[in-house]
Amino acid sequence: MRLELLSILNAERAARRACVLVTDTENGEQRLVKGAEIAADPLAEQLDSALRAGKSATIEVAGRQVFLTVQVPPVRIVAIGAVHITQALAPMARLAGFDLTIIDPRTAFATPERFPHGSLIADWPQNVLPDFAPDRYTAIACFTHDPKIDDPALEAGLWAECFYVGALGSRKTHGKRVERLKEKGFLDSQIARIRAPIGLDIGAVSPQEIAVSVLGEIILALRKKPLRDYGGAA
Amino acid sequence: MLAADDDILARAEDWRKAGKGVAIATVTETWGSAPRPVGSHLVIDDEGHFLGSVSGGCVEGEVVTEAMDVIADGKARTFEFGVQDETAWRAGLSCGGRIRVYVEKVV
């Protein structure tokens, strides 16, 4: 591998942008395809599918063995609300291999005693998220029921084109939310990306069951639906 | 796992920039029960230091030895380790799986 390619690959990864290193393992020929360039690549279909699966793989191209080294940014989940559901979600997300951050400005909720394992930030989403820089490999799920806390995070998630944006609340609550977002200038197509009521319809009742349904919905969005664009954070 | 592999490739870049001879070994195929998934990396320098893994520790020694040749002549090579293979048996991939490893020099 040329040092130059290795440097670009490491830089793309550090910037949380997807890319694929394509290696002909028979003659050593190599090229790096950045996420944003995949659609124009001769191997677009194979690269796209490898990237979506997030797995490196050997493929055959015109009878030759070609190895795809897939670099995908680690998926992060941001949960707004240090509530009962996220107390259950924290260990589940960790087991499933996701990096979870919980944000809640209410210090009575956001205590280390209630969240001994996860990364917990007792501050407003609008103060935390600019530095956190949500991107296409980030999921944002809102659980507070309080527009003052949930809405700024939802808005950040929509602008960043997060692969998953979900919000807890009844259809009625969501109707009001949609009105607020429209007043702020969000398009119907953006608003339609919010998953509400949140979670897969598995009849979940308890906070723990709702956490399962939300985690399942996040995995579904990640693995089954193509991510809209592999360009990474703009 | 991904984050760790990221650190490993970053280290390969650092080593090369510091003037060392460096090889990267990558698991390109697995059969049966293999301890590390396809895409796992082991990076090796010309003094035999290594980081990462391509198995549970059972064939790393062989890979490091082969990497010395790759660093010396610059030619990438593919190796297979598995129970069907005499050498691999010595190397001891006891889990019963088989892996293919691509070893290339950073130039």
Asked whether the predicted pLDDT for residue A79 surpasses 70, the reply is yes
B107 touches chain A (CB under 8 A): yes
Q: How far apart are CA A103 and CA A149, in angstroms?
A: 9
Asked whether the predicted pLDDT for residue A141 surpasses 90, the reply is yes
A222 — pLDDT class (breaks 50, 70, 90): confident
B24 touches chain A (CB under 8 A): yes
**Non-local CB neighbours of A233 within 8 Å, separated by 6+ positions:** A15, A16, A17, A133, A135, A136, A160
Mean pLDDT, chain A, rounded, equals 92
**pLDDT for residue B84:** 47
Q: How many A×B Cβ pairs under 8 Å?
A: 62
Question: What average pLDDT does the segment A135-144 reach?
Answer: 94
Angle at A109 between CA A79 and CA A165, to 5 degrees: 15
Number of domains in chain B: 1
Look at strands A76-80 and A138-142 and give their pairing.
parallel
Question: Which of A51, A55, A69 to probe the B interface (max B CBs under 10 A)?
Answer: A69
Question: What average pLDDT does the segment A87-109 reach?
Answer: 94
Residues of chain A with pLDDT > 70: what percent?
95
Question: What average pLDDT does the segment B17-28 reach?
Answer: 96
Residue B28: closest C-alpha in chain A = A58
| Nearest CA-CA distance, residue A65 and chain B, Å | 10
φ, ψ at A159 (rounded to 5°):
-60, -40
CB distance A145 to A80 below 8 Å: no
Q: Do A10 and B10 touch (CB under 8 A)?
A: yes
The CATH code for residues A76-223 is 3.40.50.720
Question: Which of B13, B30, B99 to probe the A interface (max A CBs under 10 A)?
Answer: B13
Residues of A with CB below 8 A from B10's CB? 10, 14
| Nearest CA-CA distance, residue A12 and chain B, Å | 11
Asked whether the predicted pLDDT for residue A201 surpasses 50, the reply is yes
**pLDDT for residue A14:** 86
Domain ranges of chain A: 3-71, 76-223
Express each pLDDT in B39-98 by its tens digit: 999 999 999 999 998 887 778 889 999 999 999 999 999 999 874 445 545 555 555 678
**Which candidate, A39, A7, A9, A3, places its Cα nearest to that of A22?**
A9
Residues of A numbered 52-81 whose beta carbons fall under 8 angstroms of chain B's beta carbons: which are they?
55-58, 65, 67, 69-72, 74
* One-letter amino acid of A152: P
**Non-local CB neighbours of B46 within 8 Å, separated by 6+ positions:** B20, B21, B22, B68, B71
**pLDDT for residue A74:** 83
**Which candidate, A34, A33, A11, places its Cα nearest to that of A22?**
A33
**pLDDT for residue B4:** 54
**pLDDT for residue B96:** 65
Q: B95 lies in which domain range?
A: 2-105
DSSP letters along B43-82, please? EEETTS-EEE-SSSSSSHHHHHHHHHHHHHH---EEEEEE
A31 touches chain B (CB under 8 A): no
**pLDDT for residue B92:** 52
* One-letter amino acid of B89: W
Q: Which secondary-structure segment (H or E) carries B79? A: strand B77-82
Query: In chain A, at which residue ranges do the beta strands (DSSP E only) sit?
Result: 19-24, 30-34, 57-61, 64-71, 76-80, 99-103, 119-121, 138-142, 164-167, 194-195
CB distance A85 to A207 below 8 Å: yes
**pLDDT for residue B87:** 53
Asked whether the predicted pLDDT for residue A230 surpasses 50, the reply is no
Asked whether the predicted pLDDT for residue A133 surpasses 60, the reply is yes
Q: For B36, what's the count of Cα atoms within 13 Å in the CB-facing half-sphere? A: 26
Q: How far apart are CA A227 and CA B75, in angstroms?
A: 37
**pLDDT for residue B90:** 55
* One-letter amino acid of A234: A
Question: Which of B26, B54, B77 to probe the A interface (max A CBs under 10 A)?
Answer: B26
**pLDDT for residue B1:** 36
Asked whether the predicted pLDDT for residue A232 surpasses 70, the reply is no
Residue B21: closest C-alpha in chain A = A3
Helix (H, G, I), strand (E, B) or coil at B50: strand
**Which candidate, B43, B59, B56, B38, places its Cα nearest to that of A25?**
B38
Express each pLDDT in A28-72 by its tens digit: 999 999 998 999 999 999 998 888 778 899 999 999 999 999 998
What is the interface pTM, i.e. ipTM, of the complex? Answer: 0.82
Residue among B28, B76, B106 minimizing CB distance to A28: B76
Q: How far apart are CA B72 and CA A73, in angstroms?
A: 33
Q: Do A28 and B2 touch (CB under 8 A)?
A: no
Asked whether the predicted pLDDT for residue A175 surpasses 50, the reply is yes
**pLDDT for residue B58:** 75
Asked whether the predicted pLDDT for residue A10 surpasses 60, the reply is yes
B26 touches chain A (CB under 8 A): yes
Residues of A with CB below 8 A from B37's CB? 55-56
Residues of B numbered 29-48 whose beta carbons fall under 8 angstroms of chain A's beta carbons: which are they?
29, 37-39
